[in-house]
Amino acid sequence: MSRATPLETYRRMQAAVLREDGATLLPADLLADDIVVETPFSPPGMRRHEGREAWLEFYAGRPLPFRFEEFRELTTFETADPEVLVVEYELAGTITTTGVRASATFIAVLRVREGRILHWREYQDVLAISQALSLGPEDLGTPAR
């Protein structure tokens, strides 16, 4: 098992996001077998995924039309807990279906053990993502108001 710190693992995550071959899917070796991924601002039914295989299956079934070109690190906090890192970042790139350039901000709390992400809670700018993809409330599983 790797002894990579949470910060080193996060740096590997940054590099993986910018890969040209399936950027939205992190390499399995960055994820613990029993990872829990939570995105509290996502539509119901998409907010929690338990286990690496479940997470990889979910993402493989929802290919995103993004080509990420920049991963701007805004803030990084190493915490008193040696396994936990809090990061704020902005992803910018091109929507491959329209050619539109867009960006969105994220805040993530990562728990990393032995170089693998054990718990990943990410707060996403859902409005920016929806606007970039031209999605309406009905596309997000949310009733229109």
pLDDT at site 16: 87
Whether 56 maps to a domain, the answer reads: yes
pLDDT at site 111: 98
Number of helical (H) and strand (E) elements in the chain, helices listed first: 3, 6
Q: What is the pLDDT along the chain (145 residues), one digit of tens a residue?
A: 568 999 999 999 998 888 866 555 678 889 999 999 999 998 888 899 999 999 888 878 777 788 889 999 999 999 999 999 999 999 999 988 889 899 999 999 999 999 999 999 999 998 888 888 876 555 544 444 4
CB of 107 closer than 8 Å to CB of 122: yes
Closest CA to 100 of 127, 140, 72, 65: 65
Whether 145 maps to a domain, the answer reads: no
Closest CA to 104 of 118, 116, 122, 92: 92
Whether 90 maps to a domain, the answer reads: yes
Whether 1 maps to a domain, the answer reads: no
pLDDT at site 56: 87
Q: In what order do the strands lie in the sheet with 116-124?
A: 48-50, 31-38, 116-124, 101-113, 84-95, 66-78
Q: Domain residues for 109?
A: 6-140
Exposed, middle or buried by CB within 10 Å (0-12, 13-18, 19+), for 145? exposed
Whether 116 maps to a domain, the answer reads: yes
pTM of the prediction? 0.83
| Domain CATH for 78 | 3.10.450.50
Domains held by the chain: number = 1
Whether 115 maps to a domain, the answer reads: yes
Whether 87 maps to a domain, the answer reads: yes
